Amino acid sequence: MRFGLWLTRQFNSQQTNGIRFHPIQRNQGSYPMKHARIAAVVASLFALPTMSFAADNVTVYGIAQAAVSSVDNGSVRQTIIEDTGSRIGFKGEEDLGAGLAAFFKIESAVALDDASKSGFATREGWVGLKNKDWGLVKLGRGKSYFDLAQESFDGFNGNSTMINSLLIDNAYYRISNSIAYESPDMGGLVAKVEYGDIEKKGSTAGTGKKHNPYTLIGVLEYNNGPIYAVAGVESQRDQATGQAGSSIKSVADDAKATNTLLGGGFTFDSGTNVKLAWRHSKWKAGTGATTQKRNAFIGVVTQPITPVASVRLGFTKVADIKNTSDTGGTYWAIGGDYALSKRTIAYTEFTRAGNDKNAGGLLQTSAGQAAGERNNNAWTTGLIHLF
């Protein structure tokens, strides 16, 4: 018996649609013998993946999105074509019985403007077990729970989003070598714990001292009806500060970084959604270094205009590092989007980042080259297609 694949579309509220693989059977007797032998060879090559796809209920999903942006880094203005977060992913699960299921997710970056920036499994890679009574546990790499909590205060679509203003002060974006747990939904309340970036334990940084680098994250999130609330803590130890938050960090003797987030939101009967958050950052670069700390505040208002159109306004204020003047900045964003269909969205957004004179390139829009006192901004108009 030969197996083939047929494709069927699936729609849901978050991933508008996807592709599922299912087995179909065909009567081999109707094929000539020569074709039957070819079919047998092909079947032997692909039978296992095909049958596995069916059993595990694999879904292919993704987003294709790109934009035209006018960017100004404070000294040069230019027009660019930029990918704004395209991706393709595979996810699936298998029922193991007794309420237990195995699941996986592999998500890859797809750069529509520059193929060299694409890469397999560069965004997410997880495998785990889940049960409706005790929650889920997973192993792998992806956006940290703390970053996802921050992103709940970002309703924008382009590269110059509100999250840009909070991926500072050593906060992790994507974390590697991670084990994570999520509780079941308890009336809108979900608890999340993550322990990651742990594989350099026992290494040294030239001092002969053994290190125990790790990142520990805890998030408590409530989302029920019009009310949203979140509290999160991210603690890093023996990891170098000032490094990009999407790669494994170097070992650093006695380095410490802690980020704390408290926030909430409310949706009014008119559909207006208001979200406000406070973040406190505290870090120490290593042995003998001074402990630094500062606060940041973020607010986003989203207003539906019609069932398919909405506008939003966002603002972030990053305070000075304690006892160090002119080291903060501000970040503004305003934009709107229009749903052309269930899967296609057009949008336009303007963002502006302003850095104090001693802040360096703290806050950056798509220009990505802010320096010194420079203000930098970006006007982005793009298209998003979900599949």
Same domain, 18 and 164: no
Is the domain of 145 the same as that of 245?
yes
User: Do 21 and 134 belong together in one domain?
Assistant: no
Domain count, the chain: 2
Question: Which residues face 91 on adjacent strands?
Answer: 59, 105
Domain termination site, one of 56, 81, 97: 56
pLDDT score for 207: 61
Dist CA 3 CA 44 (whole Å): 10
Q: 132 and 254 in one domain?
A: yes
In the block, which residue shows the tokens 């393709």?
88
* 3-class DSSP assignment, residue 25: strand
* Per-residue pLDDT at 370: 65
Supply angle C-alpha 295, 298, 302, rounded to 5: 175
In a shared domain, residues 40 and 154: no
Domain end (from 16, 31, 56): 56
Burial 274-297 (b: 16+ CB within 10 A, else e): ebebebbbbbbbeeeeeebebebe
Domain that holds residue 327: 63-386
For residues 259 and 306, the answer to whether their CB atoms sit within 8 Å is no
Closest CA to 90 of 123, 66, 117, 51: 123
- The verdict on 186 and 264 lying in the same domain is yes
Which single residue is written with the structure tokens 């797809």? 110
Quick check: helix, strand or coil at residue 268?
coil
**Partners of 275 in the β-ladder:** 265, 300
One domain for residues 2 and 141? no
Of all residues in the chain, what percent are helix, strand and coil, respectively (each to 5)?
10, 55, 35
What does the DSSP 8-state code read for residue 186? Answer: B
Strand partners, 235: 216, 258
Q: Do 243 and 355 fall within a single domain?
A: yes
Structure tokens, 236: 């890093």
Q: Taking a C-beta distance cutoff of 8 angstroms, is the pair 244, 168 a contact?
A: no
Residues in Cβ contact with 300 at an 8 Å cutoff, skipping those fewer than 6 apart: 153, 154, 155, 162, 273, 274, 275, 312, 313, 314, 315
Kindly report the pTM of this predicted structure: 0.82
pLDDT tens, the chain, 387 aa long: 333 333 333 333 344 445 444 433 333 333 343 334 334 433 443 343 433 444 458 999 999 999 999 999 878 889 999 999 999 999 999 999 999 999 999 999 999 999 998 999 999 999 999 999 999 999 999 999 999 999 999 988 776 678 788 888 988 889 999 999 999 999 999 999 999 987 877 766 556 677 788 899 999 999 999 999 999 999 998 888 876 566 677 888 888 999 999 999 999 999 999 999 999 999 998 888 999 999 999 999 999 999 999 999 999 999 999 999 999 999 999 999 999 999 999 999 999 999 999 998 888 887 666 666 688 999 999 999 999
The counts of H helices and E strands in the chain are: 2, 19
d(CA 137, CA 242): 30
What's the CATH number where 294 sits?
A: 2.40.160.10
State residue 243's pLDDT score.
Answer: 63
Q: Are residues 36 and 99 in the same domain?
A: no
Same domain, 8 and 147: no
- Report pLDDT for 42: 33
The verdict on 367 and 305 lying in the same domain is yes
Q: What is the pLDDT of residues 207-229, one digit of tens each?
A: 667 778 889 999 999 999 999 99
- Could you tell me if 50 and 84 lie in one domain? no
Strand 292-306 to 309-318 pairing: antiparallel
Provide the token pair at 56.
Answer: 């595990």
Residue at which a domain ends, from 56, 76, 101: 56
Could you count the other beta carbons within 10 Å of the beta carbon of residue 42?
13
